[in-house]
Structure 1
Amino acid sequence: MTESLSEIVQRQSIKAFQSVIRKSKNALQNMVEKGANTSVIEKRLHAFIVSLDILEHTWNGKEDQHYDSLEISEARQVILNLLPSIERMMGKSATGTPQYTLLERRIRAFQLAVQAMEQKCVEVLDKD
């Protein structure tokens, strides 16, 4: 899966996750300050972190965080559930704009993370 990906695509995907994690942390902090329910953003933030860790482990040999198959599967499902809304947002953006490029890279990063998590789940289940 990931062997044929260019280093540029890998780097862009990692940056896309770093960006969404940073934005999610800021959103979470704002929600906490306002006393809002944070369960959805916390779940998404955790899924983004798991996704980034798995991509970095897969591509860069980063230390394996040893997520169990349930945790990986839940993170994968969160990412899959977010893809349609990001794709709709992309459809409303003009091609060639910074927003379009950001969404395009985010979609690609999410798709690659889903693939990596599927592979990781198989590896974890094979160990058990």
Structure 2
Amino acid sequence: MIESVSETVQRQSIEAFQSVIRKSENALKNMVGKEANTSLIEKRLHALNVSLYILEYTWNERADQHYSSLEISEARHVMNNLLPSLKRMMEKSVAGTPQYTLLERRIRAFQLAVQAMEQK
């Protein structure tokens, strides 16, 4: 079972996912315009959307899960692969700065999503 977290952490986690999804969507738009290979960003964006949905599904006790077990498993794998790079970025950041706080919340959100996906 996913660990119990406060409503504040839940809200911050959802906001962290919404933020990174927006940034990824913008990056994808820019890449499409430059005819770059978009497969990696598309895969990550799908994993982010699945992760956000799983958190909302878990915390809001929604009964309308619409992602397959395979999609959830693939998303969990992608999220686990993103965590080390976020942790390295955080090590280079200065505690107390907005960037540090953003990374801290994003890492926490990713970890919670992975926990939730492990239960599906």
TM-score bin (small chain): over 0.9
Cα offset, 1:3, TM superposition: 6.0
Distance in 2 between residues matched to 1:18 and 1:109, nearest whole Å: 11
Unaligned runs of 5+ in 1: 121-128
Kept in 1: contact 2:32–2:38 (CA 8 A): yes
Structure with the larger RCO, 1 or 2 (CA within 8 Å, 6+ apart)? 2
Cα offset, 1:69, TM superposition: 1.1
Kept in 2: contact 1:83–1:107 (CA 8 A): yes
Distance in 1 between residues matched to 2:41 and 2:3, nearest whole Å: 32
Distance 1:99 1:71, change over 3 A: same
Distance in 2 between residues matched to 1:54 and 1:16, nearest whole Å: 14
Q: Deviations over 1:98-122 (max 9, x none)?
A: 00000000000000000000111xx
Q: Deviations over 1:27-46 (max 9, x none)?
A: 00000000000000000000
Distance in 2 between residues matched to 1:111 and 1:64, nearest whole Å: 23
Give the match for residue 22 of structure 2: 22
Cα offset, 1:80, TM superposition: 0.2
The TM-score normalised by the length of structure 2 is 0.96
Kept in 2: contact 1:52–1:113 (CA 8 A): yes
Distance in 1 between residues matched to 2:16 and 2:81, nearest whole Å: 17
Distance in 2 between residues matched to 1:93 and 1:30, nearest whole Å: 27
Tell me how large the CA RMSD over aligned residues is: 1.1
Q: For structure 1, which segment, 58-67 or 68-77, has the greater mean C-alpha deviation from structure 2 after superposition?
A: 58-67
> What is the correspondence of 1:83-94 to structure 2 with a 5 Å cutoff?
83-94=83-94
Give the match for residue 119 of structure 2: 119
The TM-score normalised by the length of structure 1 is 0.90
Q: For residue 73 of structure 1, what is the amino acid of its counterpart? A: S
> 2:21 matched to 1:5?
no
